[in-house]
A and B are shown apart, each in its own frame.
Chain A
Amino acid sequence: MSEQTTPAPAAPPPDEQRRVEAAAVETAEVTGSQFARIMDSSVGRNLGLVIALVILIVVGGVTAGDRFLSVDNMLTILRLASVIGVVSIGMTFVITGGGIDLSVGAIVALASVWATTLATQTMAEDTHWIVMVLVAFAVGGGCGLVNGLLIAYGRIAPFIVTLAMLASARGLAEIISDRKTQIVSNRDFVQFFGDSVLGVPVLVIIFALVAIGGWVLLNRTTFGRRTLAVGGNAEAARLAGIDVRRHTAMLYVLLGLACGLAAVMLMARTTTGTSTHGGLYELQSIAAVVIGGTLLSGGRGTIVGTVFGVLIFNTLTNVFTLNNKNSSTQAVATGVIIVVAVLLQQRVGRSRGST
């Protein structure tokens, strides 16, 4: 498996993050400091991320020279970032809506296995490779739907439901594949997704399109507005006539579909489908979303921040790899970055009188 993994500490359940809003409201300070105001604006928040990324690039350039700064290496970083990036965009919606999903990696694995079974591949040979893509989407969306229904209508905590999905989806993937790596035989499929347009890999283009689409969906549509409302104050959203439960379910379906797409991209990059795909994706994507500036308690989300979060983690991995530092050192650095980013976020939150 060529996947570079970046372990991260487990995120606490969202309920733990939620405080009694009323208590915070009473003591809310109306005026924040100048610093807080700057940090609070989207410019300020993203500025911090840009600076972090620039520092990483400078460090990479100084320590690894041309090996880091070459166009090829940059495209490698982006190509590796694109799969987890697509998952993280979906995760941004779920977290902004006040939820969490631990099952994304397992769903990616299941979708990749299901789409590369002999039956699916034969069907794809007979018709078109799009069949494999559709199967991956169906599996991802289906898992997301199960998550969503259990959380929204079964009223079970998202942490629990998706933990259960994590275990069973990966288990199912192992059963279906008999723990064997399934090779993608369809050459057209691999060629299509492995290609480049004007020097930019198709995978990177897909990530860019998903990011743009996600930004538009979150910031410009009623769906995005409702996501913010549901995550910010579910009771107020309900009393304003929003169907909170249906919306919550839809958020998990959206993330499931993103996982299906990620599975397709991973199948193309590795030319395999296996039950070990997507290992630790849940932690990587949650980490990227949170350092990007999306509130883990919901109600505030940023797609641009998530994209930066993904790029920062992947650039970090690349710099460490080029300097022959082992993955343990990377893990430590990743942990430090997460804590510092969240500390910063909390300071901003506190000065605004909310969590």
Chain B
Amino acid sequence: MTDLDTGGPLLSMAGIVKIFPGVRALDGVDLDVRPGEVHALLGQNGAGKSTLIKVLAGAHQPDEGTITWAGEQVRLNNPVAAMRRGIATIYQELDLVDGLSVAENVFLGHEQSNAGFVRPGTAVQATRALLQRLGHADISPRREVGRLSAAGKQIVSMARALSHDARLIVMDEPSAVLDGGEVDNLFRVIRDLTADGVAVVYISHRLEEIRKIADRVTVLKDGRTVATSLPVADTTTAELIRLMTGRSIEFVFPEQDDSVTLGEPVLRVDGLSRPGEFTDVTFTVRAGEIVGLAGLVGSGRSEILETVYGARKASAGIVTVDGKAMRKGSVRAAVGAGVGLAPEERKSQGLLLDQSVARNISLASLRQFARSGFVRRGDEQTAAKQHAESLDVRPAGVERPVRTLSGGNQQKVVLARWLLRGCRVLLLDEPTRGVDVGARSEIYALIRRLADDGVAVVVVSSEVPEVLGLADRVLVISEGRIVHEGPAADIDEHRVLDLVMEGRVA
């Protein structure tokens, strides 16, 4: 392990490109990790963090780029190959078997055995030693993993990584499931590991944590590295947020047409609360208006949107559409009143991927095309086609499965669904997530067109410039509260970030 002595990089990824159908998930990413350091990987949802660590774990093969490990260029063809090299990944959803004991989990897949017979005693002893090294001698190796707390499970995952003689441990949002005291303990364990020369890649979007634990930080945005190996001590939190959310590409936003006068208030949200997510959220959206919610991940912005839609049940407050109060926690009531949602996770929440474009478009308005229960398929096709064409879904033709479309065109299909339904309120959660940069302007123009037609639009986005460019009015959300409300034209990105920070770090 000469690299340890010379201080050269343990891992060096250069120009990594990963293309999924319709989207470049990684578009030239660089990452350098030294032995014994904590290297933070920072980025918004959809920036490409997960894809990058999957490449590193051998779960995805990069289309371009090189991976150099301990001075030697390597290919990681599968997760086992990565593990053999000493790269261990602890995923957000811990991959432990609840029904097995701690020791059995630690040595799962490489059991301590003799001629095929498991040697439980050896495994238990080895596990005890690993847990001791992690400072958790209190966890019994014979304990059933399902009975451990989230923090305990994380320790077991780390013990498993160490049992493979890991020299690099990737931790994906390890603090997401932990409370304050447990996070401190996690940090202590991480420091012990790095003191032994193990490198840690730490993924989080909690900036305070990164400030506490990380030595250097690499920032991803839109599948690219916008900053590589910045020393954390010399970088301000504001700078990190700017890198994470800042404008990296000039988007073309549609012109706001001043001649369009706003209509009556359509959507009213009054005192909406959900414990632990957001508190006392009140706002109004008028016909023809686009209201943007800006805030960091975890600020409660997506939760607010889903609660307005009835997909989550509010503990307090009411939502009214056209003066009519919605039943709490009822999506059907919302849809019935003319509310539509383009969800954050388009593929898993929004689309029937194997079914045709036409069927996806007509999904929310089947009743329109039904006569005593029978779908009039001619009318359905015609209407779907008309909306697909008006939104310029490409390639043309409504018979192909939605799966084969690019991210941008899939989003258009979701929009077409609500257009066909003739909705009064449109809720858009991350409308350009997974959408090619080129196609974004098109989506923006579409959203503006919908508003000009009298729809009340609410947009949530991680990208502050997107919210500012698209919306007429902006609500800044921090820690589940609205900390600012005002016209989009009167506020700039820095001011938004300051507001977000005030609510967050101060």
Contacts and interface: CB of A to CB of B under 8 A. Distances in A.
Given A25-B403, A241-B332, A228 B375 contact: no
B236 interface: no
A235 B403 contact: no
Nearest to B405: A30
Interface string B282-320: 000000000000000000000000000101000000000
B370 interface: yes
A232 B21 contact: no
Which of under 10, 10 to 19, 20 to 34, or 35 or more describes the interface residues of B? Answer: 35 or more
A222 B335 contact: no
Interface in A327-355: 352-354
A28 interface: yes
B251 interface: no
B331 A299 contact: no
B404 A30 contact: yes
Contacts of B311: 238-239
Contact of A235 (B335, B336, B349, B359): B349
A354 B351 CA distance: 14
Contact of B354 (A237, A243, A354): A354
B355 interface: yes
A239 B341 contact: yes
Contact of A222 (B60, B336, B355, B366): B366
B348 interface: yes
Contacts of A30: 21, 403-404
Contacts of B151: none
A179 interface: no
Contact of A221 (B334, B341, B374): B374
A225 interface: yes
Interface residues of A, number: 34
Contacts of A220: 374-375, 377
A236 B373 contact: no
A198 interface: no
Nearest to A349: B354
Contacts of A1: none
Contacts of B366: 222, 225-226
A145 to B, nearest CB: 20
Nearest to B367: A222
Given A30-B21, A243-B332, A352-B354, A21 B374 contact: no
Interface in A187-235: 216, 220-226, 228-229, 232-233, 235
Contacts of B347: 21-22, 25
Contact of A25 (B332, B336, B353, B355): B353
Most buried by A among B311, B349, B354: B354
Interface in A14-38: 21-22, 25-30
B9 interface: no
A22 B332 contact: no
A170 interface: no
Contacts of A79: none
Given A28-B403, A221-B374, A239 B332 contact: no
B224 interface: no
A239 B352 contact: no
A268 B370 CA distance: 38
B48 interface: no
Contacts of A236: 348-352, 363
Nearest to A217: B373
B375 A241 contact: no
B331 A241 contact: yes
B343 interface: yes
A220 B372 CA distance: 11
Nearest to A224: B375
A63 to B, nearest CB: 41
B375 A229 contact: no
Most buried by B among A26, A237, A299, A352: A26
Contacts of A130: none
A241 B355 contact: no
| Interface hub of B345, B351, B355, B364 (most chain A Cβ within 10 A) | B355
A300 interface: yes
Interface of B: 20-21, 60, 309, 311, 331-332, 334-336, 341, 343, 345, 347-355, 359, 362-364, 366-367, 370, 373-375, 377, 403-404, 417
Smallest CB-CB A-B distances: 7 pairs: A241-B335, A240-B364, A222-B366, A232-B352, A240-B363, A222-B370, A221-B373
11 contacts: A28-B403, A222-B375, A225-B362, A225-B366, A235-B349, A237-B363, A239-B341, A240-B364, A241-B332, A242-B363, A353-B403
Given A25-B347, A225-B362, A239-B309, 9 more contacts: A220-B377, A222-B374, A225-B363, A226-B366, A236-B352, A239-B349, A241-B332, A352-B354, A352-B403
